[in-house]
Amino acid sequence: MEKEIITASLSTKKRIAIIADTAISSQAETLKKDLQAELLLFSGGEAAKTRENKERFEDALLKKQFGRDTLLIGMGGGVVTDFTAFLASTYMRGVALFLIPTTLLAMVDAAIGGKTGVDTSFGKNQIGTIYQPDCIFVDMAYLKTLPDKEWISGLSEILKYGLIADSEIWELIEQNPSKWKEHISSFILSSIRIKTKVVQEDPLEQKGFRRILNFGHTVAHALETLSSYTMSHGEAVAMGLIAESFLSFHLGFLPKKEFERIETLIRKFPYQFKLPKAFASFLSAMQIDKKAKMGIPRFVLIDRIGHTLPFDGAYCKSVAETALKALSHWMESNYV
């Protein structure tokens, strides 16, 4: 894969800057030498995905006189791909962008689709753009050294695809949860296929269909915000998938047996189902979710495993305060 990256990068005949996670600095250093590129290291995880950090990286590029002929390469997990893509979309009003996702979550979700952004104290990815990369390079060799916590973080997004669009993904994991990694190539390809199809049909989220990718994420993003981004995205999504499945059940769309299947399977994996200390502000945190309308949270909902409810093309539904309070109470009773 490295040869393909080098060939594609050099063929652009652009000046290259790599933004890479410090966790893979040795691999980034090698690529830097091969491409004779500038290397800027990103550290601090989700908490560092800020407007202030973006300004710092912009200044670093400007000081080194990078211009319109720049190729930015984002190399790392979802935080780095989100951040680098946002930077590429605004630097010199838009420069070339390659992404090299190095975590499972980034490979199956974050690097695909063109959504970029930074976080604020008010919410996750509230400031950003939609900007498609020129190339995405998925190399499974990076998974060989991936920590266990990063594996299950990516698994939560794979489970999401099973819930919203492909029951076969869900059933294959359900048959033997302890051996899900044996099918990882198939899961990565299926996830990429699903997300690519959705994005192609609704690239700018103008039709509503793209919202199905947000199942579990209204709750997840609120939890991440309330934890001051100390909770990992994968952990928050796992909790969000169960919570929004409960909401689908509570509202009468999802049969109880289906909800029980969902909760049972997700709880078999080593996620920490722990609410942030600031959970008292949970309802208000969801009011600024990007799907919210007039301050009323809207949710993607399912009626069975593998099928998302269309709601006349909106693919999300406003939920009354009584139902939100029921959701909040259920979470307090079922999450530590």
Active site residues: 93, 115, 157, 195, 205, 210, 214, 217, 221, 233
Q: How far is CA 10 from CA 5, 88, 212, 301, 326, in A?
A: 8, 18, 37, 45, 56
Assigned architecture for domain 2-144: 3-Layer(aba) Sandwich (3.40)
Which residues 6+ apart lie within 8 Å of 163 measured at CB?
A: 170, 215, 216, 241, 245, 262, 302, 305, 306
Each residue's pLDDT, cut to its tens digit, for the chain (336 residues) gives: 888 999 999 999 999 999 999 999 999 999 999 999 999 999 999 999 999 999 999 999 999 999 999 999 999 999 999 999 999 999 999 999 999 999 999 999 999 999 999 999 999 999 999 999 999 999 999 999 999 999 999 999 999 999 999 999 999 999 999 999 999 999 999 999 999 999 999 999 889 999 999 999 999 999 999 999 999 999 999 999 999 999 999 999 999 999 999 999 999 999 999 999 999 999 999 998 888 888 889 999 999 999 999 999 999 999 999 999 999 999 999 997
One CATH from 3.40.50.800, 3.10.200.10, 1.20.1090.10, 1.10.1200.10 for 151-334: 1.20.1090.10
pTM, whole model, 2 decimals? 0.96
Show contacts of 197-204: CB within 8 Å, 24+ apart: 198/113, 198/165, 199/112, 199/113, 199/114, 203/114, 203/130, 203/132, 204/130
Name the token pair of 252. 């009468």
What is the residue extent of each domain of the chain?
2-144, 151-334
